[in-house]
Structures are given as C-alpha cells and as structure tokens.
A and B are shown apart, each in its own frame.
Chain A
C-alpha cells in the first residue's frame, strides 16, 4: 500500500481504455464487412468494464483499478440495404449489413481517448510526487 498502488490503478485503466479503443477500431474498420468467417454480417462489439480491487489494500479500503469483464456482441438487428445485384442479397433484394453505428463508435473513441489522457495525467502527477517524497530532507 504505497504510491505504487496508484501506478497499479491508473495502469489498469490505461490497459482497459486501450482495449476499448481497439474494439472501437475493429468496429469502425468492419462497418461494411458483409460477411465474417462464419458467413454472417459483422456484429458490433462492446467492452464491459468492472472494478478490480487492488491486491494488498485492506478489505475496508474501497479502492481499485479497472479490468474488462468481457467483450459483448451487440444484439441490434443488422442494417438492411437494398442492392438486388449483390451476390449476398436475399430473395427480396436486401443485403444484411453490419449493425455498427459509426457515429456512436466515433463518440466512444473520443470518450476512451479522453479517459486515457486523464489517467496518464494521474500517473505523471503520482510520479512527480514520488520523486519529491524521495528527496525529503535534501
């Protein structure tokens, strides 16, 4: 239980936020992927965060970092696009496109990068405080 646990907390948040950015990048890249390896249209993914209590802290102390509890697939219905000459079009002439909401994904990406920056700031502050603590009495 020392300044080290701040690095542990903010570091776990950096890892979690960068995983969120990875998933968003995957969603944006596959916004037009009509077919995945299973033959279905791509489904948008979303990470779910969970609090992770810091090891070493007492049971009473409610502090902790973040971990990703899982990556869920969106249950939203696929976007249907009318394109009768497309090889994957159904009998009515519609193609099932991925259910990726590009605007929402972009907003999520901005939110993740802001959170990442805030945690980098926390690490820098904790680092400078630690350096000053080590030079007490000099």
Chain B
C-alpha cells in the first residue's frame, strides 16, 4: 500500500525536481550576465521529464579503488538525466557572453509559475488521498 502511495507522488516529485534544477540553471545565467565568455545554458524540460520517468539511464558514477599511494585517482561521472544545451544568442556581444537578460528573466518567471502549479497539484493530490483514506 505504501509503495502505491510512493508511485502516486513519484511523478510530481520528479517534475518538481527538474523544475528546481531549471530554476538553478536560470539563476546561474542571470548571475553570470556580466561574465566574459560565459555561455548561457538551459535544457528542454519536457524531454528531460520524459527521460527521467523512463527509468535509470546511462551508467552510475564510478571511481577507481586506490590500493597504492602511486595509483592515479580517476573517476567517471554519470552524465545524469538532463541533456544540457546552449542557448542560441539573438544578438552577439563583444565579450563572448551569450546571456540575454530579457530571455532569462522571462524564462525564470515562467519556470516560477510552473513550479507553483506543481506545488498546487501536489497539494490537491494529497487532499484527494486524505479524503480517500478517511472514508
């Protein structure tokens, strides 16, 4: 029964986690609006959500076991579930920075509203579940 509850909320949890991650990358773009040669990053939310729900993708992160002090430490990081893309600049700038403040602010506001929508959906879902439990 409890694992059914987990499945019930798994979708919303994944979606909110990705919204959170997108919020972070947009905040990073806004913070680096004046950094020379910084390239604005973003990812496609719908394809990232589809991949995240499709189960584990790729290999987990691994590191070598060091048994001697002369071994070279090496690690292979997992690429994760998000496919990071570069934003295409509408207007080039002299310092090689591709952050367009207007685009980033609009995307940030849009992502904020969608995150709040996700929160409302979770709350609604919880109310429905509570009503069913109290029958």
How many angstroms between the C-alpha atoms of A9 and B31 in the bound complex? 7
Q: How many A-B residue pairs have CB under 8 A?
A: 99
Q: Bin chain A's interface residue count.
A: 35 or more
Chain A 48-63 against B: per-residue CB contact (8 Å), 1 yes, 0 no?
1111001000111111
Interface of B is mostly: helix
For A138, list chain B residues within 8 Å (CB): 123
Task: Tell me if B53 is interfacial: C-beta within 8 Å of chain A.
Answer: no
Return 23 A-B CB contacts under 8 Å, by A number. A3-B23, A6-B24, A9-B28, A10-B27, A10-B30, A17-B34, A20-B34, A49-B35, A51-B35, A60-B78, A60-B80, A60-B84, A61-B84, A62-B25, A62-B28, A63-B27, A65-B28, A111-B34, A122-B30, A122-B31, A125-B112, A136-B119, A137-B123
Q: How far is the CB of B129 from chain A (nearest CB, A)?
A: 10
- Chain B residue total in the interface (Cβ 8 A): 34
Q: Is the CB of B34 within 8 A of A115?
A: yes
